[in-house]
Amino acid sequence: MSSPESHETQRRAWDGLADSWAERVRSGTDHNRVHILDPATLEVLGDVSGLQVLDAGCGEGRFSRILAERGGQVTGVDLSGRMIDHAREQESQHPLGPQYHVADMADLSFLASAEFDIALAYFSLFDVENYETALCEIARVLKPGGRFVFSVSHPCFLTPDSGWELVRPNSFQDKDRLYWKVDNYFPARGVEVKIWPTASPIINYHRPLSEYAHALRDAGFLIRDLIEPTPDPKLVEQLDFWRGYIRIATSIIFDCVKGGA
């Protein structure tokens, strides 16, 4: 259970980042999302046309709009009111249909039970301290047999003390990467991170894979598949930097289904 203090701290942190975040993701400069997570997530989701879709932790609405362009009937929720301001402003300028709400994904009480065909948490569940309650709430609002797809940083490789051991400090060339160091996989804990060097810190919650599996089970989900996205081989050939992304998995996508169909 998250404390009101930590909940408010996280909300304020994301409100403070919202303006820069919106500019960053809308410019397409978040290459990991554009080239790795986006195509993998869309492939996992498949055809969303005509389906009721919940985007939990939608941020400024970028992926909500992508899903709406593909025919999804999208409801986006985010803890940050400033993020939702950006999402609504974009919707008013370029209407696609998503409805946005300021809400904690661990409290979706304003949404009816069994309302959605698909729920998505795109790189957002690891921002939620009370994630077990969030999973139960997402299960509640899904129809029986509904799908829940979520992505997080790969907990086996992106541990709190992981990183490349380099021949030359600060090199991005693959030839200078000796190996990827992994340490302190256990225990689960909050970790202060900066999502870019000049950003204010936020808290991400590192959790071992077994914790996700157990929490999903307890919320009534079955794991259908696990996907560890990698860049297109053509992209790897074009830019040496991407070779690191085929040596280790930096993210993982859970494809789950709600039991009781």
- CA–CA gap between residue 138 and residue 114 (Å, rounded): 10
Q: What is the pLDDT of residue 199?
A: 86
Handedness of CA 224, 60, 104, 123 (dihedral sign): positive
Q: What is the pLDDT of residue 2?
A: 56
Q: What is the pLDDT of residues 167-224, one digit of tens each?
A: 999 888 999 999 999 999 999 999 999 988 888 899 999 999 999 999 999 999 999 9
Residue 48 region by backbone torsions, left for phi larger than 0, else alpha for psi between -120 and 50, else beta: alpha
Q: In what order do the strands lie in the sheet with 99-102?
A: 99-102, 73-78, 52-56, 116-122, 142-153, 251-258, 221-227
Domain 4-154+220-258 architecture: 3-Layer(aba) Sandwich (3.40)
> Structure tokens of 31?
């290459």
Which amino acid type is present at position 245? Y
The domain segmentation of the chain, as residue ranges, is: 4-154+220-258
Which amino acid type is present at position 223? I
Residue the block writes with tokens 């030359």: 168
Q: Which residues of the chain have pLDDT under 70?
A: 1-4, 261
> Structure tokens of 70?
């593909």
